[in-house]
A = this chain, B = another copy of it.
Amino acid sequence: MAEEKRLSLKEMVRGTGNTPRTIRFYESEGLIAPAGRTGGGHRVYAAGELDKLQLITDLRTAGLSIEEIKRILRAKLERDAPREAAVEVSGLLGAHIEEMRRKLATLVRLRDELSASTALLTEVCAECKEPPSEQMCDRCAVLDRGSLPRAFKWIWSVH
């Protein structure tokens, strides 16, 4: 047992960007634990817990649930072949990476459709001589609403 450095809750907060409440919550869920307590009951952590908390934080930020993180942390204990554990964790991470890629693609598509809609509208409406009204716009042949991406027809509709 080497003389490891000890960290306060405040140092755990500063080291990971979590709130104290979040760190205590992770403790109540069994994800991390202080090495002990000070005389007055303040938590004291081993230096290694900071790395563990940082991993947990990264996984939460990336959208993994507490239950999934529990599985990851238990992987090592259940099958004590670290290679198996790594394969299992890698699979979980890969699934989330794919999910994030899909979500990102959806957002990028929406932004691009929005840009296209805006470009079309400003171009067409700038050349329009009529005062804007629901009747005129609905009959506008140039501005065929079918050519607008479905997601952003609402930007255009007048009423």
Binding site for B on A (CB under 8 A): 48, 51-52, 54-55, 58-59, 61-63, 73, 76, 82-83, 85-87, 89-90, 93-94, 96-97, 100-101, 103-104, 106-108, 110-111, 114-115, 117-118, 121-122, 150-157
Taking A48-B154, A82-B155, A93-B111 as known contacts, 18 extra A-B pairs with beta carbons closer than 8 A to each other, sorted by chain A number, are A51-B154, A55-B154, A58-B110, A62-B104, A62-B107, A73-B154, A85-B155, A86-B117, A86-B118, A87-B118, A90-B111, A90-B115, A93-B114, A97-B107, A97-B108, A100-B104, A101-B104, A104-B104
Neighbouring B residues of A83 by C-beta, 8 Å: 118, 121-122
**Main SS of chain A's interface residues?**
helix
Cβ contact within 8 Å between A151 and B58: yes
* Contacts known (A104-B100, A121-B83, A150-B54); A155 close to B93, Cβ less than 8 A: no
Cβ contact within 8 Å between B82 and A118: yes
Neighbouring B residues of A90 by C-beta, 8 Å: 111, 114-115, 118
Q: How many copies does the complex hold?
A: 2
Can you list 10 contacts pairing A with B, beta carbon distance less than 8 Å?
Answer: A52-B154, A55-B152, A58-B107, A58-B110, A61-B106, A62-B110, A63-B103, A85-B155, A93-B110, A96-B107
